[in-house]
């Protein structure tokens, strides 16, 4: 499926602003962005329940919707799964899953059994939604959405009603089933972890526009701007001015290729890319030239978070705070002096 130049506005306010995107069979594309950035509206336009102001939607190269021509929603071969897309309480599990199915009674039953088996709920086939847990209901909703073999699956925050530990399992299971069914999946989420876990491709959306698109690894490691870094993790920022394609900082010089002299830049890096060294008689480590210079900081706060520890330092050079994460347990006392170096290969330099 391909969307070209989609624009949607409400009362003169553009909430989807020239979005182009294609999704492919057997792949999960995540539309990832903060609340209100226009993700759901994009999905609703594709589903055919929202009318775009301009732009076209194609499936297999055939137009299914522009501002004049519209294939009605029920003929778009699209499966929908939303967080609050409840099961029909008065229908049994089997009847829920069979809801959108065509064919003989036997054919329908076979497909229902096949899908309930896939979501490991065959034993509840004659049960009712209220007898199932939230996670089980979600799996029935998945089975129901997939039953008519949609070519395209649109999922809007489908896992957000579930508690954390349950969610990981259901995400993985859902992913496996979606791959088996070979649908082209567009999943909307505001959670970066969910996108990283589920997506073959991430489209990062902000204020109605797709600002970056690519494989999760690329979006994470080659962010387009500071906000793209900050969307996935905490960030640290150093400010500097470029001189001769270099930005001078308390941590040494950073390359700023192609950025004109005098430009204010921000050097952005994640907390896991700070290296910590103990103070040795008022001195820090002697880093190699490629590591730059170590800067002195004092522990302001340290917390153990389970998989890692988060240590905040007040830096001597300007009193600002830098955050460092360290694998495992490391909870130094407030006031302890340490020396910080930055993993320079993990830094991003952006014009401020």
Ligand X SMILES: Nc1ncnc2c1ncn2[C@@H]1O[C@H](COP(=O)(O)OP(=O)(O)OP(=O)(O)O)[C@@H](O)[C@H]1O
Q: Which is nearer to ligand X, 35 or 290 (CB)?
A: 35
Q: List, in order, residues 6 or more apart from 158 with CB less than 8 Å away.
A: 81, 82, 83, 85, 138, 141, 142, 174, 187
Q: Which is nearer to ligand X, 34 or 103 (CB)?
A: 34
Of 1, 30, 41, 231, which lies in the binding site for ligand X, with binding defined by CB under 6 A? 41
Structure tokens at 213: 């698109």
Q: Is there binding between residue 10 and ligand X (CB under 6 A)?
A: yes
Q: Which is nearer to ligand X, 15 or 196 (CB)?
A: 15
Biggest distance spanned by C-alpha atoms of the chain: 83
Q: How many residues bind ligand X (CB under 6 A)?
A: 11
Q: Is there binding between residue 38 and ligand X (CB under 6 A)?
A: yes
Of 22, 25, 36, 283, which lies in the binding site for ligand X, with binding defined by CB under 6 A? 36
User: CA nearest 289: which of 344, 221, 339, 220?
Assistant: 344
Q: Which is nearer to ligand X, 156 or 181 (CB)?
A: 156
Quote the CA–CA distance of 169 and 159 in Å, as a whole number: 11
User: CA nearest 211: which of 194, 199, 193, 228?
Assistant: 228
Q: Which stretch binds ligand X (CB under 6 A): 38-46, 132-140, 256-264, 311-319?
A: 38-46
DSSP-derived 3-state class of residue 50: coil
Least Å from the CB of residue 269 to ligand X: 28
Q: Is there binding between residue 15 and ligand X (CB under 6 A)?
A: yes
The CA angle 237-349-297, to the nearest 5 degrees, is: 35
Least Å from the CB of residue 8 to ligand X: 8
Least Å from the CB of residue 44 to ligand X: 7
**Residues 136-195 contacting ligand X, CB under 6 A:** 190
Q: Is there binding between residue 39 and ligand X (CB under 6 A)?
A: yes
Of 3, 21, 40, 112, which lies in the binding site for ligand X, with binding defined by CB under 6 A? 40
151 neighbors 25 (Cβ within 8 angstroms): yes
Quote the CA–CA distance of 211 and 216 in Å, as a whole number: 14
Residues that bind ligand X (CB under 6 A): 10, 15, 33, 35-41, 190
């Amino acid at each position: 499926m391909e969307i070209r130049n989609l624009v949607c506005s409400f009362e003169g306010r553009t909430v989807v602003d020239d979005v182009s995107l294609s999704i492919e069979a057997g792949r999960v594309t995540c539309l990832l962005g903060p609340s209100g950035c226009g993700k759901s509206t994009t999905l609703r336009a594709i589903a055919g329940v929202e009318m775009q102001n301009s732009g076209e939607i194609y499936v297999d190269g055939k137009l299914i919707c522009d501002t004049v021509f519209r294939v009605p929603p029920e003929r778009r071969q699209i499966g929908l799964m939303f967080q609050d897309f409840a099961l029909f309480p008065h229908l049994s599990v089997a009847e829920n899953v069979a809801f959108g199915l065509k064919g003989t009674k036997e054919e329908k039953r076979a497909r229902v059994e096949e899908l309930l088996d896939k979501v490991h709920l065959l034993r509840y086939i004659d049960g009712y939604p209220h007898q199932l847990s939230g996670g089980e209901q979600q799996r029935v909703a998945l089975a129901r959405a997939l039953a008519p073999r949609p070519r395209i699956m649109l999922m809007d925050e489908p896992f957000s009603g579930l508690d954390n530990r349950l969610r990981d399992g259901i995400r993985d299971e859902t992913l496996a089933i979606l791959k088996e069914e070979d649908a082209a999946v567009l999943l909307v989420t505001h959670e970066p972890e969910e996108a990283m876990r589920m997506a073959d491709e991430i489209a990062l959306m902000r204020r109605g526009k797709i600002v970056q698109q690519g494989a999760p690894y690329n979006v994470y490691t080659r962010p387009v701007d500071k906000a793209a870094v900050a969307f996935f993790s905490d960030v640290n920022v150093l400010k500097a001015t470029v001189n001769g394609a270099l930005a001078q900082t308390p941590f040494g010089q950073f390359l700023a290729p192609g950025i004109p002299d005098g430009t204010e830049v921000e050097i952005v890096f994640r907390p896991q890319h700070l290296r910590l060294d103990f103070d040795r008689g008022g001195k820090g480590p002697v880093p190699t030239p490629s590591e730059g210079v170590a800067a002195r900081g004092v522990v302001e706060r340290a917390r153990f978070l389970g998989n890692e520890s988060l240590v905040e330092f007040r830096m001597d050079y300007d009193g600002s705070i830098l955050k460092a994460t360290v694998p495992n347990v490391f909870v130094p006392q407030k006031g302890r002096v340490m020396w910080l170096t930055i993993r320079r290969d993990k830094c991003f330099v952006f014009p401020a």
